[in-house]
């Protein structure tokens, strides 16, 4: 189980949705011009008009970004945890528990959790 992940998503929901947007210089945000921002651990972002958000956090001393649905019911939805070297995808069972369904290493292999060995390329452990 990926309890910490789902707890992180619940925290993301509470944090990202409760934060007031940071005032932006009107000249800096030109309509139709994409903006790039730098995020640090503790920062979060939400997509305007869509219940999707991400939070930058630290897991086992490594900085990762966790993305998933925000607000309301999260059971049955998915979240991703992306780090410098790895990616995990988890299916949320509730706001307090989740199951990792895919693990991957950037530039390396991947492993679909619970899939027959022939169907998944070996990329390492990490399924719970």
Whole domain around residue 88: which residue ranges? 1-17+41-128
Q: What is the pLDDT of residue 102?
A: 94
Residue 114 lies inside a defined structural domain of this protein: yes
Decide: 104 and 85 in contact? Cβ < 8 Å: no
Q: Would you place residue 118 in the very low, low, confident or very high pLDDT band (cuts 50, 70, 90)? A: very low
pTM of the model: 0.67
Residue 65 lies inside a defined structural domain of this protein: yes
Residue 59 lies inside a defined structural domain of this protein: yes
Q: Half-sphere exposure of residue 124, counting CA atoms within 13 Å on the CB side?
A: 15
Residue 30 lies inside a defined structural domain of this protein: no
Q: What's the pLDDT tens digit per position in 30-40?
A: 777 787 888 99
Query: Domain count of the chain?
Result: 1
65 is written with which tokens? 């970004």
Q: Which is it for the CA torsion 40, 106, 126, 91, positive or negative?
A: positive
């Amino acid at each position: 189980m990926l309890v910490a992940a789902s707890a992180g998503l619940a925290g993301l929901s509470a944090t990202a949705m409760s934060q007031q947007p940071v005032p932006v210089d009107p000249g800096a945000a030109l309509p139709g011009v994409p903006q790039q921002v730098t995020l640090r651990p503790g920062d979060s972002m939400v997509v305007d008009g869509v219940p999707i958000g991400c939070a930058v956090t630290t897991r086992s001393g490594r900085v990762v970004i966790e993305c998933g649905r925000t607000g309301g019911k999260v059971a049955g939805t998915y979240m991703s945890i992306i780090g410098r070297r790895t990616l995990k995808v988890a299916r949320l069972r509730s706001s307090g528990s989740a199951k990792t369904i895919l693990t991957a290493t950037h530039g390396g292999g991947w492993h679909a959790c619970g899939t027959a060995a022939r169907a998944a390329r070996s990329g390492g452990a990490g399924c719970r």
